[in-house]
Chain A
Amino acid sequence: MNKYILRRIAIAVPLILAIMTIVFVMLRVAVPGDPALLLAGDQATPELIEKIRESLGLNRPIWEQYLIFLRNAAMGDMGISIIHRQPVMDIIFSAFPFTVAVTFYSVTFGTALGLLVGIITAIKRGTWIDNLLMVVIVFFYSIPTFWLGIMLILIFAVGLRILPVQGATTWQHFVLPVATLSVGQATLIARLTRSSMIEILNADFIRTARSKGLPSRKIILVHALKNSLIPIITVVGLSVGGLLGGAVITESIFGLPGVGRLAIEAIGNRDYPMIQATVLMVAITFIFVNLIVDLIYAFVDPRIHYS
C-alpha cells in the first residue's frame, strides 16, 4: 500500500509540472492583456505600460520568466500577488478555510440526504413515494445553482430575515451557501444511489440473504448499501475535489471569500502569480482527493488490492 501511495505521488509530480507549464505559457501567449495594462490604468501612455511590464519582469523572454518561476516554485515561493501585493500563498491560505468549510458541510449534508432519499426511492421503487421523490429530485437537479442561491436569499434573508445575505463572519453566513451546494450534491447522490441500489437489490446474493431470513434493515444497510458505495464514493470524491477548487458561483452570490472567487478575480486582473498558485492548489487538491478515493475503494471492497 505504501509503495502504491509513493508511486502515485511520484506520478503526480510530472503531472503538476505539466499543468503548471501549460498554465504559465497559456497565460502569456494565449490570453490577451496583461497585468501591466490594469496597473497602468485607462489613461496610460505606452511608455508607462512598458515601464510597468519591465518592473514586473514581463518584458523578459517567456523561457526566462518560466525558469525564474520554476526556481522560485521549487523553493516554495509562488510569488507576490500583482494586485494585492501579498504573497499569493498567504492569500490562498486565508481563503482556503472558507472553501474547506463550505465543501465539508455541503458534501456531508448533501451526501447524507442523497443516500437517504436514494435508499428510500430504491426500496419503494414504483410506488407514489418513489415517483414523488424522483420528481422533487429532478426538479432540484434541474435548477441552476445561481438561481437556487438567489431564491434562498430572497426567502430566508430578505423575506424571513432569519439569515444574512452575504459575508463570512458568523456560522449563519454559511447556512445558505451550504444549503445551495447541498441540494445539488443530494440530488446527484440520490439518483446514483437509487440506480445503484436497485441493481444490487436484484442481485443473487441479496435474494440469498432474504431467503436466509436476514432482517430487511441489515440487508439494505449492510449488504446492499455497502456494495452500492463504489460509484457513490467516486462521485463524492469528484465533488470534494471540485468544490475545494472553489464553488465560484456560490461564492460570488453569497460574497464568500473562497478560492473560487480569488481565482476568478485573478483571471480578470491577469494576476499571473495568483492564477498560477490557485491552479497549482486546485491540481494538488484533485490529485490528493483522487488518491484518497482510490484508497477508500480498498477499504470498502476487499476485492480491490493495491500493490
Chain B
Amino acid sequence: MVRKYLLSLGFVALLMLGVLSVTAQEGTGGILVVPDAASNVPLDPFVTSWHSTPHYALFSTLFQKDMDLNYVGYLADTWEASEDGTQLTITLVDATFSDGTPVDAEALKWNIMKYADPEATASQGADLRGLVTDVTVVDEKTFTIVMTASYAPLYNTLAGLEIVSPTAYDTLGPDGFEANPVGAGPYLLKEKNAGNFVSFVRNPDFTWAPEEIYASTGPVSLDGLQVSFVGEDQTILAAFETGEFQIIGIPPQNIVDVESNPDVTLVTQMETGIRYFGFNTSKAPWDDVKLRQAFNYAINRDEFVALAWDNRCEPLYQPLPPSIWGHNPELDATSYQYDPDKANALLDELGYVDVTGDGIRETPEGTEWVIPMAVQSEGDEWKRMAEVIESQLRDVGIPLTIELMERQALINLTTTGEHDLFLLQYGQTDPSILTYFFDPERRGGSNRTWFVNDELTALLKAADSDLNQETRYETITQISQMVIDQSPWVFLCTPVNTTGIRNELQGWNLHPQDGVQTWNAFIGG
C-alpha cells in the first residue's frame, strides 16, 4: 500500500490517452488492463483534484498537445484570441455526449462558468476564478471566453478541463453523476467498484479525435479499458509478468529484472516534474538566503542520483526540468554546482561552527543544531533520497533529522508555516507551476516555502499574462534565475521513468510528454 503511488504516478503520466500514429499497426479488440491505485478517486471532474486515466477515458477537453507539444483542437475546431488576449472565441467540432445531447456552445458555457464560479470548490479550473468574467454564446457551435486579463497558460488550463454533459449533471445531481458520469470521451463507464477497479467500454459514437494528428478520428481500437486499484509493487510486477496487466511503470530497482523478459518492451521518458527539498523561508534561520545557499552547495547531485536513483534521475540545477517549456539550459552554469568548500565557508561566515569537535556544527549561539526535514513515508524512494541528502549534508557538518510522516500530514504541515525543511515533488507541463509555488497569496496553500519576494511576484504575473512566447520565455528565465539566487528550494533531479509494455499490446504510441498512448492500441495474438 505504501508504495502505491510510485507505479501509479509513472503510469498516470504515461497512459494519458492520446495520439494515433499514422504509422501505427492496424487492428482492434481486446481489453487493456492497467494498475493505478491513485485513480481510485471520484470520476466527477468538479470534485476530484486527481485527474488520470479514468477521467481521460470518459471526458474530452477543448485542446490537446500534439507530438510537437503544440496545442491542437480536441472539442475545439477553430479558435481565435482577441488582440489583447482577453477574449478567446472557439468554434466546436460536431460531437455528442454519451447521453445523446450535443456538445454545443451552451454546454461549454455551462462547464466553463461552473469551473470559473468563485464559489466553486473544484481544484481543476481554479485558475479561471477571478479571471473569466463571462462566456458568451455566439451561435450553436461558437462561444467566447471573456477574461479580465490575458492569461498565457490558458490553453494549458483548458486542455485540463474535462467537459461534462450539463443535462446529465443537472438531472442527476453531483452524487448521481458520480455513479453515472456522462462525457464525450472515447470510453463509456461500464462499472466502478470503489475498492477494486473501474472499467470502461469503447464509445462507439466517438469520432472527434483531432484529425490534424490522429490517423483515425475514432472510435478507439480497444474494446475496453480497466483500471485496477492495485498498489503493491510486487503484485503489480507479478501480474505484469503473467499478462494480467499490459502496461505498468517499472520501479528503478526492478528494471534489470524486467529487461530480461522477452515478452515485454521497455520505454523510458523524462518526467515533467522534479524532486526537490524546500525551506520554510518565513521562519528563522531559513529566512537567511546565505544559509539556504550553503545547503545548495553541499548537495552533490551526481552522487545523489547515483545513490538514490541508480542514475535514473537527471541532476537538476534550476526549478524547471528540461521536459517543461521554459527550461533554459544556460542557467545551469549560474546555479549551484557541488562545492563543499563554499558551503563550509558560508556556514562558517554565518556562525554555524563545530564547537564540540564531533564534526557536526552547532548554532551561532553554541547550542545543538536541530534541522527537521519532513519526508513522506509512502514509497521507498523518499526515504532513500532523504538518507542520501542527510549523508551529504553531514559531510559539511549539517545535522539533518529525517521525520517520516504520511504525505497528508506533510502537506498539512507545510500549510501551517511551522515546518522547517520538506522533501517533495511536483509534476506539471507548464512553467506557470512556479506561480503556484512562489505566489505570496498562496502561503498556507501551495506556496510551501512561504516565500515572498516582490520582484519575483511581479515577474510571475508578467510571465502568466504575456502571450508572446519569446518574451515570456525571457521572463521565465529571469524567474528561474531568481529562484536559483534566492534558493528557497534545493533542486535535486528529474526522474526518467521506465514503462513496461507487454508485447501482446500492439499499435501503441509514445507521446513526447504524455507517454504511452493507447487509442490505436489493441490486444494482438
Interface residues in chain A, defined as those with a beta carbon under 8 Å from any beta carbon in chain B: 31-34, 37-49, 51-52, 55, 80-81, 83-86, 91, 94-95, 150, 153-154, 157-158, 161, 164-168, 248, 252-255, 257-258, 261-262, 264-265, 268-270
User: Is the C-beta of B298 less than 8 angstroms from some C-beta in chain A?
Assistant: no
Determine if A166 and B230 form an interchain contact, defined as CB atoms under 8 angstroms apart. yes
Determine if A39 and B242 form an interchain contact, defined as CB atoms under 8 angstroms apart. no
The CB with the most chain B CB atoms within 10 A, among A42, A46, A81, A264, is that of: A42
Known: A84-B194, A91-B195. A44 touches B445 (CB 8 A): yes
- Inter-chain CA distance A276–B194, complex, in Å, is 17
The 11 sampled A-B contact pairs (Cβ below 8 Å) are A32-B412, A37-B408, A42-B49, A48-B445, A49-B415, A83-B41, A86-B178, A150-B238, A164-B242, A165-B242, A165-B244
Interface size class of B (residues with CB under 8 A): 35 or more
Determine if B235 and A153 form an interchain contact, defined as CB atoms under 8 angstroms apart. yes
Chain A residue nearest to B432 (CB atoms) is A43
Chain A residues contacting B195 (CB-CB under 8 Å) are 91, 94-95, 257-258, 261-262, 265
Chain B residues contacting A31 (CB-CB under 8 Å) are 409
Determine if B415 and A46 form an interchain contact, defined as CB atoms under 8 angstroms apart. yes
Determine if B244 and A86 form an interchain contact, defined as CB atoms under 8 angstroms apart. no
Known: A32-B409, A33-B411. A42 touches B232 (CB 8 A): no
Determine if B47 and A85 form an interchain contact, defined as CB atoms under 8 angstroms apart. yes
Determine if A45 and B445 form an interchain contact, defined as CB atoms under 8 angstroms apart. yes
**4 more CB-based (< 8 A) A-B contacts, given A33-B412, A41-B123:** A161-B242, A252-B231, A265-B40, A268-B1
User: Is the C-beta of B110 less than 8 angstroms from some C-beta in chain A?
Assistant: no
Determine if B179 and A253 form an interchain contact, defined as CB atoms under 8 angstroms apart. no
Which 7 residue pairs are nearest across A and B when measured between Cβ atoms?
Answer: A41-B49, A257-B195, A257-B196, A33-B408, A41-B123, A33-B412, A46-B444
User: Is the C-beta of B156 less than 8 angstroms from some C-beta in chain A?
Assistant: no
- Inter-chain CA distance A22–B178, complex, in Å, is 31
Known: A37-B412, A157-B238. A46 touches B1 (CB 8 A): no
- Inter-chain CA distance A262–B1, complex, in Å, is 11
Chain A residues contacting B415 (CB-CB under 8 Å) are 37, 46, 49
Determine if B242 and A157 form an interchain contact, defined as CB atoms under 8 angstroms apart. yes
Determine if B234 and A153 form an interchain contact, defined as CB atoms under 8 angstroms apart. yes
User: Is the C-beta of B443 less than 8 angstroms from some C-beta in chain A?
Assistant: yes
- Inter-chain CA distance A1–B244, complex, in Å, is 52
CB-CB contacts of B220-241 with A at 8 A, as 1s and 0s? 0000000011111011001101
- Inter-chain CA distance A268–B408, complex, in Å, is 7
Known: A34-B412, A153-B234. A43 touches B242 (CB 8 A): no
Known: A51-B121, A86-B178, A268-B406. A94 touches B194 (CB 8 A): yes
- Inter-chain CA distance A270–B235, complex, in Å, is 25
Determine if B47 and A166 form an interchain contact, defined as CB atoms under 8 angstroms apart. no
User: Is the C-beta of B193 less than 8 angstroms from some C-beta in chain A?
Assistant: yes
Within 8 Å by CB of B123, from A39, A254, A264, lies A39
Determine if A158 and B244 form an interchain contact, defined as CB atoms under 8 angstroms apart. no
- Inter-chain CA distance A95–B44, complex, in Å, is 22
Chain B residue nearest to A262 (CB atoms) is B195
Chain A residue nearest to B424 (CB atoms) is A42
* Chain B residues numbered 122-177 whose CB sits less than 8 Å from any CB in chain A: 123, 126, 174-175
- Inter-chain CA distance A164–B238, complex, in Å, is 10
Determine if A41 and B412 form an interchain contact, defined as CB atoms under 8 angstroms apart. no
User: Is the C-beta of B442 less than 8 angstroms from some C-beta in chain A?
Assistant: yes
Chain A residues contacting B126 (CB-CB under 8 Å) are 43-45, 48
- Inter-chain CA distance A33–B416, complex, in Å, is 10
CB-CB contacts of B195-214 with A at 8 A, as 1s and 0s? 11000000000000000000
Determine if B232 and A165 form an interchain contact, defined as CB atoms under 8 angstroms apart. no
- Inter-chain CA distance A252–B196, complex, in Å, is 11
Chain A residue nearest to B127 (CB atoms) is A43
Within 8 Å by CB of A39, from B47, B244, B446, lies B47
Determine if B121 and A42 form an interchain contact, defined as CB atoms under 8 angstroms apart. no
Chain B residue nearest to A165 (CB atoms) is B239
Chain B residue nearest to A41 (CB atoms) is B49
- Inter-chain CA distance A127–B512, complex, in Å, is 68
Chain A residues contacting B413 (CB-CB under 8 Å) are 32
Determine if A37 and B411 form an interchain contact, defined as CB atoms under 8 angstroms apart. yes
Determine if B242 and A33 form an interchain contact, defined as CB atoms under 8 angstroms apart. no
Within 8 Å by CB of A158, from B47, B196, B238, B409, lies B238
Chain A residues contacting B44 (CB-CB under 8 Å) are 85
Determine if A46 and B445 form an interchain contact, defined as CB atoms under 8 angstroms apart. yes
Determine if A167 and B228 form an interchain contact, defined as CB atoms under 8 angstroms apart. yes
Chain B residues contacting A255 (CB-CB under 8 Å) are 196, 228-230, 232, 235, 239
Chain B residues contacting A262 (CB-CB under 8 Å) are 194-195
Chain B residue nearest to A56 (CB atoms) is B121
Determine if A253 and B234 form an interchain contact, defined as CB atoms under 8 angstroms apart. yes
Within 8 Å by CB of A85, from B174, B442, B444, lies B174
- Inter-chain CA distance A65–B89, complex, in Å, is 46
Chain B residue nearest to A164 (CB atoms) is B244
User: Is the C-beta of B48 less than 8 angstroms from some C-beta in chain A?
Assistant: yes
Chain B residue nearest to A150 (CB atoms) is B234
User: Is the C-beta of B379 less than 8 angstroms from some C-beta in chain A?
Assistant: no
Known: A91-B195, A164-B244, A257-B193. A43 touches B412 (CB 8 A): no
